[in-house]
Structure 1
Amino acid sequence: MKILVYSDYSRINHSVRPEAEIFLQLASMGHTVSVFSPRLDPAEPFTAAGIRTATTAQTAKVSPTSIRLLRRELRRENYDVVFATSSRTIPTAAFACMGFNCKLVVYRGTTRGLKRSDPTSFLSVLHPRVDAVLTVSDAVSEAVRKKLYKNRDKVVSIFKGHDIEWYKDPPADLAEFSIPPNAVVAIAVARFRPSKGLRYLLEASELLADIEPLHLLIVGSGADQAPYTSIVMNSPMRDRIHITGRREDALRLIAAADMLVQPSVDGEGLPRSIIEALAFGKPVISTTAGGAKEVVEEGKSGLIIPPANSVAIARSIRALAAEPETIQTMSEHCRNLVRTRLSHTKTAAAYEQFFQSLCSEQAPIPRSIGDHQGIYTAVAPDYLQHRAAILKLLENFDASGEILHRKRNTVKKMLLCDTPVVVKSFNIPRGIRAFIYGRVRKSKARRSFEHARRLRTLGISTPEPIAFIEERRRGQLAASHYVSEYFPHDFSMTYGFSGNEDSAIINAFTQFTFDLHEAGVLHWDHNPSNTLVRDQAGAWEFTIIDINRMRFGSLSLKQRMKNFVRLTDDISTMKNLAHCYARLAGEHPELCETLLMKQKQRHWRKLALKKQLKRLFGKGPR
């Protein structure tokens, strides 16, 4: 792949090292990487690694000069991916990429600040040219998806990896703060602002004053303002609360402490100080705000507490301070966490895989049939030689083919050069929906095509995608078709849930659904008719269809259980599904059953409401 990175490397320090290391790793994997920055630190590591670098001298949020420079570079080199990372580089990269057939990926590291009501958001992550968003945690991904109008399935969270070898700094001498050698030190590294929750840590000191060896060390600026000054002055621990201000040796201070406290209230992505503490073998006490809960393992590498709760902070600090042996046990687990899940090599491999999956998606190619303009097609590489035959199928769609399904959409089995294929003609949207699908959202046909390619990349069975075709008139979507291979099958899971089969197929189907969820796949139309089954010498093979509505990313247990509500109305079968899934997921059966039944009740209420509305407006039986 050819990757152009536009980020701010005007100062290469420990805070940007994890990001820089990603692209050094990608270059070492054989990819062509170019790094552009408004300014470059003379100590930058890219040139020595054979990576081409350039500066844009950008100062404004949107710089026409920098846009022209990037566009000149995009014309010079056929880049596959452009990756922009900051509020200053993303708008410039977005405008520069307009008209070029490259994938624009942007980075998001915080859950706050992205608003549809804020016009500047449309210069960054919400810019219509953005193809995908890489985030630092699932918490950020969820926050971004709520704001996006399109490409919600292209929001992926990848931790910024570190290397345990980066953390060899000797511990700082805490005698400068009059902290004795035998003290128990809890450190927090953050600026004093409301979202960081430091006031709750200071308030917790009132409940910790009886622990004489305990000292609080807070590294960050902004403590000389209300309410922090008054809380410190009134604390019975005030002589053992040490606020350092901003420090260049924050890493050495973390190395000298016994535990890290991250009391954030909101807005966090995944604080760097948490990974730094883990790398030094320091257990972390963190709130559930942001992505910390995705990394810190309760009781193994730290403790997770609710936000804005000084009592919980005090209780956790007290628990660790009272058991030094627990801190020692956690210490090695913390380091192993950085060596494994949070390693920089694993991060680079995840970036490579995501970029490659984006590049494997073929962009639509404009075509016309006869005198009708505005017809667009995208054909899978293996079927490019059959493009004309595919378009001929659509011309004959109404008059030929075997009808497999006809309701809102029409599905037919047809022959493409003597090979059976399935052609799905989607319902024609009307009114405002025709405009939305024509200008804002991807068509269902295109989503089906892209989702199929992504599913097959993940090793999930779905019919091979062949092509999608869209027709637009005056900016509105007039028709869309999706063509895929025909999957020979024995029956669908409608038969499997009808009571004609024993529990073996239900258990196998539950395993299949669990595998989908573990791969980060949520099939919104997960009903029995959309899973085809083939008997392969006594083993069941499942494949999913009707895949235009999908979501990719990590799933909560609640979301997983909700995915079962369309399968059956039989209470006994639902309970069996929940218990089987619980065994696979290592969860408590009662919890899974309760979650599933709650979601099922909501599903029934929703169906009843829809039926009432249809009767009210004359669209259903009275």
Structure 2
Amino acid sequence: MNMEKINLLAVTHHSRKNINPIRPEAAQIIGLHKSGKVNVTVLCNPGSTLIPHLEKEGITVLTDPLDKKVSISTISYIKKLIKEKKIDILHLFNNIACSNGATAAIGTDTKVIAYRGQTGNVSRLDPSSYLVMLHPRLNKIICVAQAIEKDLRQFLWGDKSRATTVYKGHDQSWYQGPPATLDEFPLHQGSFKLSMVANLRPRKGLSVFMDALALLPDGLNIDVLLVGADPDNIKIQEMIERSTLKDRVHALGYREDAPEVAAASDVIVLPTTKREGLCRAVLEANSYGIPAIVSDTGGNAELVADGNTGIVVPPSDAQALAFAILKLYNDRDLCKEFGRKAKERAINKFNVEQGVSNTLEIYQSLINEN
């Protein structure tokens, strides 16, 4: 077995100001660095929110625009780094990194790993898929959930086991802040608060959520917090109208304290209709002891143990979602018990240590193939 340190080049891109979306990725890279088994170099875009966190840990960070799906200059730079740094593992964390990085690795002995975060958007008949998940140079594709692995395997040529699963790791120290103060919103005294934290693309299921609210009995004391929903957006306003609870549905817009908003809720709801990954918002809420109601899409059913840490409903089923909301509204003790167990599950199953350990095993298995 090769006992020398593994030379890793991780390629990624981040432009968001909010640290929450990058925490699991940064924690994994830092964990690999701290393991003492990996020499880590990171290539990211200039101004990436990753840079200060990685450099603080003594990790070598290099930059490239990483702004084109296929860039001759980026491909040449990555190929140069592979040669100069004798890279053993090239780990590619998004599509731009994948298309350029995997192409740069052609003709080298470097093992290439891609990251896969959600189901869908892969087809053997789509030429663009061969630049990313179906790129012939990929040795391994690390999926964030077993459902994503299963979905991807049906499209892979040859060795299906190239797709595997490693859960993103979260750290409880990230979730020690107090719940968000929501005094600026006209919330009702003692209300049961439902929150939805999402970018609110159509597939996130806001319309299903609003239809479910319209099916609830009259007179319930609830408030609904929509993080990511622009209160001035006409389509958002129209969907809120269909809830029949206009004065109880609050569009909060973009917020950097989304986890703390979830912490101020009783339940988080994610009624995605298709193409879900391992939803960060659910893990953030669970880490605060807040249970979730999710639809059975992507990795959601792996995050939530139905009937134990939360409730899983069929996708696009407003009636089932309404029943789930009413169940927890009527049984606050059960709701709190789900939250307690959800936090335990987040700590035990979705921690940083398991993510780093499982990734290291994949690295070593690829190195041992030589």
TM-score category, normalised to shorter length: over 0.9
Q: For residue 219 of structure 1, what is the aligned residue in structure 2? A: 227
Q: For residue 151 of structure 1, what is the aligned residue in structure 2? A: 159
1:116 aligns with 2:124: yes
1:24 aligns with 2:44: no
Q: For residue 492 of structure 1, what is the aligned residue in structure 2? A: none
Any idea what the Cα deviations from partners look like across 1:41-91, whole Å, max 9, x if unmatched? Answer: 375222222211111223221111111111111111222210001111111
1:5 aligns with 2:10: yes
Out of 71, 87, 93, the position equivalent to 1:63 is 71
Q: For residue 246 of structure 1, what is the aligned residue in structure 2? A: 254
Any idea what the Cα deviations from partners look like across 1:441-478, whole Å, max 9, x if unmatched? Answer: xxxxxxxxxxxxxxxxxxxxxxxxxxxxxxxxxxxxxx
Please give the alpha-carbon distance, in whole angstroms, between the structure 1 residues aligned to 2:285 and 2:206: 18
The size of the alignment, in residue pairs, is 361
What SS is found at the alignment partner of 1:260?
A: strand
Please give the alpha-carbon distance, in whole angstroms, between the structure 2 residues aligned to 1:11 and 1:208: 37
Out of 109, 129, 133, the position equivalent to 1:125 is 133
The Cα shift of 1:40 comes to 4.1
Residues 191, 222 of structure 1: 8 Å contact kept: no
Q: For residue 177 of structure 1, what is the aligned residue in structure 2? A: 185
Q: For residue 619 of structure 1, what is the aligned residue in structure 2? A: none
The Cα shift of 1:222 comes to 5.9
Distance 1:234 1:265, change over 3 A: closer
Distance 1:241 1:70, change over 3 A: same
Question: Where do residues 82-481 of structure 1 align in structure 2 (5 Å cutoff)?
Answer: 82-221=90-229, 224-226=233-235, 228-362=236-370
Distance 1:235 1:336, change over 3 A: closer
Q: Bigger shift: 10-19 or 142-151?
A: 10-19
Please give the alpha-carbon distance, in whole angstroms, between the structure 1 residues aligned to 2:360 and 2:219: 49
After TM superposition, the score normalised by the length of structure 2 is: 0.93
The Cα shift of 1:190 comes to 1.6
- The code of the aligned residue for 1:291 comes to G
After TM superposition, the score normalised by the length of structure 1 is: 0.56
Any idea what the Cα deviations from partners look like across 1:83-120, whole Å, max 9, x if unmatched? Answer: 00111111110111111101100001110211222221
The Cα shift of 1:234 comes to 4.3
Task: Give ranges in structure 2 of 5+ residues lacking alignment.
Answer: 1-5
Please give the alpha-carbon distance, in whole angstroms, between the structure 1 residues aligned to 2:47 and 2:121: 27
Q: For residue 3 of structure 2, what is the aligned residue in structure 1? A: none
What SS is found at the alignment partner of 2:87?
A: coil
The Cα shift of 1:298 comes to 1.5
Q: For residue 605 of structure 1, what is the aligned residue in structure 2? A: none
Please give the alpha-carbon distance, in whole angstroms, between the structure 1 residues aligned to 2:257 and 2:239: 26
The Cα shift of 1:206 comes to 1.3
- The code of the aligned residue for 2:61 comes to T
The Cα shift of 1:312 comes to 0.6
The Cα shift of 1:320 comes to 0.6
Please give the alpha-carbon distance, in whole angstroms, between the structure 1 residues aligned to 2:299 and 2:53: 29
1:39 aligns with 2:49: no
The Cα shift of 1:297 comes to 0.9
Task: Give ranges in structure 1 of 5+ residues lacking alignment.
Answer: 363-622
Any idea what the Cα deviations from partners look like across 1:323-367, whole Å, max 9, x if unmatched? Answer: 1111222222121112110101111111111111121112xxxxx
Distance 1:230 1:340, change over 3 A: same
1:74 aligns with 2:82: yes
The Cα shift of 1:181 comes to 4.5
The Cα shift of 1:151 comes to 2.9
Residues 205, 237 of structure 1: 8 Å contact kept: yes
Residues 4, 35 of structure 1: 8 Å contact kept: yes
Distance 1:146 1:25, change over 3 A: same
- The code of the aligned residue for 2:143 comes to T
Please give the alpha-carbon distance, in whole angstroms, between the structure 2 residues aligned to 1:211 and 1:122: 54
Please give the alpha-carbon distance, in whole angstroms, between the structure 1 residues aligned to 2:242 and 2:274: 26
In percent, how many aligned pairs have the same letter? 29
Please give the alpha-carbon distance, in whole angstroms, between the structure 2 residues aligned to 1:119 and 1:316: 42
- The code of the aligned residue for 1:4 comes to L
Residues 217, 241 of structure 1: 8 Å contact kept: yes
Please give the alpha-carbon distance, in whole angstroms, between the structure 2 residues aligned to 1:33 and 1:211: 57
What SS is found at the alignment partner of 1:264?
A: coil
What SS is found at the alignment partner of 1:233?
A: helix
The Cα shift of 1:208 comes to 2.0
